[in-house]
Amino acid sequence: VVLHSAGALTLGSSSATGTLGLLASAGNITGNSQMTVGSNASFTANGTGASITLDNASNSFGGTLAFAGTSLGNVSITDTTALDLQALTLGGNLQARASSLTDSGALLIGGTTSLQATGDVVLDHAGHLFTGDVSVAAVNADLRAAGPLQLGASTLSGNLALSAAGAITQSG
């Protein structure tokens, strides 16, 4: 399924057994109702400072998710399954919630990063750059950064591993 809008996209309850591609040429992509996608999905919001918000607690994405935009501001994603974050550049904040979080590309986040998982968070790509605080709620977490890493308020019931090319500090 491919859907293109000249403006913003606001999604109701949606289900796709195959792949899903959504493009908002000049606005945000918002989906507060449940989304179920059986395969890969891509979301592109091209408005200046546009945001992608897919935060329904019952969302289920069966494949990889890609987020893009010419000057993407914020991304907020909730997935009941494991979530693999693809390469992503944001001027604003990243909020990701899933059963577990991993990465397949560099995350370049200009704002804060909030990571929540009922299992583990493993963001170990060597190219991550986090400008703001990185907060984690998970069992175990392994975070890597190509620059400094500022840990925000975090809750872990297991182990924490941090690696950064710059200073590692804590604000919360």
Q: What is the pLDDT of residues 82-113, one digit of tens each?
A: 999 999 999 999 999 999 999 999 999 999 99
- Measure the CA–CA gap between 148 and 115, rounded to whole angstroms: 18
Other Cβ atoms within 10 Å of 135 Cβ, number: 19
Question: Structure tokens of 161?
Answer: 């591993």
Query: Above 80 in pLDDT, residue 34?
Result: yes
pTM greater than 0.75:
yes
Chain Cα centroid distance, residue 36: 17
* pLDDT the model gives residue 126: 93
* Whether the predicted pLDDT of 66 surpasses 90: yes
Checking if the pLDDT of 1 tops 90, the result is: no
What is the chain's mean pLDDT, rounded?
A: 96
Give the rounded distance of the alpha carbon of 162 from its chain centre. 19
Looking at residue 52, what is its pLDDT?
98
Mean pLDDT of 53-63: 95
Distance from C-alpha of 74 to C-alpha of 132, rounded to nearest angstrom: 13
Question: CA 38 to CA 153: how far, in whole Å?
Answer: 34
**CA 150, CA 159: separation in Å to the nearest integer?**
17
Indicate whether 172 pLDDT > 90.
Answer: no
What's the rounded mean pLDDT across residues 137-151?
Answer: 98
How confident is the model at residue 37, as a pLDDT? 95
Region class of 110: left (phi > 0), else alpha (psi between -120 and 50), else beta: alpha
Across 37-47, average pLDDT: 94
Distance CA 82, CA 65 (A): 11
Measured CA to CA in angstroms, residue 48 lies from 53, 69, 74 at distances of 15, 9, 11
Q: What is the pLDDT of residues 5-19, one digit of tens each?
A: 999 999 999 999 999
> What is the model's pLDDT at position 124?
96
State the pLDDT at residue 38: 93
Q: Output the pLDDT for position 121.
A: 98
Please name which of 78, 47, 46 lies closest in space to residue 65, comparing C-alpha atoms: 78
